[in-house]
Amino acid sequence: MKSNSDQFSAWHVGVAAEAIAAALFARCGLDVSVQYGANQPEYDLMVARDEQIIKVSVKGSKDGGWGLSQSQMEPGKADYQGAIDRWLVRHKPRTVLCFVQFQGVALDQLPRCYLATPAEVAERLRTTAKGRGDTILYESKKWTSRAHAAGTVEEIPATWRFSKERVEELLETS
């Protein structure tokens, strides 16, 4: 018999994350447009108020992190900064990323959600692991004694937490 975590597959995480993101934006009073059919490569939702529109790329996770730039790593090279640069170029500056975290969240609770621009995410990825950079955005990670960044802790900035104020800020600057 499968455990509940086995039943909550990566596909389910993505579907749930998009639905929760859409609901949160709607609760902020925005119009939400969910894509129909094949996904656009850069965004999953469009949210709007009057003439202000944001394209939103939703990223769900159930393990504490979001793998973002690993597909941009060149084989045989540990060039994290280059992978981050290549990842950033693939995103339009006005796109907003919505990160949804299910790890440690009971079914009757909302997952933790964060909003950031591609530039903000790239900067966070660049400073990860004592500035070595990484392909994974960690919600909260303490590096162990064997790691390059031993003793340091990575955390998503508190200013990225999904809130009406953060949505307003991104609407004004996008």
**Is pLDDT of 134 > 90?**
yes
What are the extents of the domains in the chain? Answer: 4-173
For residue 41, the model assigns a pLDDT of 78
Chain centroid offset of residue 7 CA: 22
In the three-class reduction of DSSP (H, G, I as helix; E, B as strand; rest coil), residue 47 is classed as strand
- Residue-wise pLDDT for 136-147, tens only, equals 999 999 988 888
Pairing of strands 45-49, 31-34: antiparallel
Predicted model pTM:
0.93
pLDDT averaged over the chain? Answer: 92
| Fold exhibited by the domain 4-173 | Trna Endonuclease; Chain: A, domain 1 (3.40.1350)
For residue 101, the model assigns a pLDDT of 98
For residue 157, the model assigns a pLDDT of 97
Question: Taking a C-beta distance cutoff of 8 angstroms, is the pair 30, 152 a contact?
Answer: no
Pairing of strands 52-61, 65-67: unpaired
For residue 25, the model assigns a pLDDT of 98
List, as one string, the DSSP characters of 109-133.
Answer: SPPEEEEE-HHHHHHHHHHTTTTT-
What the block records as the tokens of 112 is 């933790």
Cα separations in angstroms, 60 against 10, 38, 100, 169: 8, 18, 5, 22
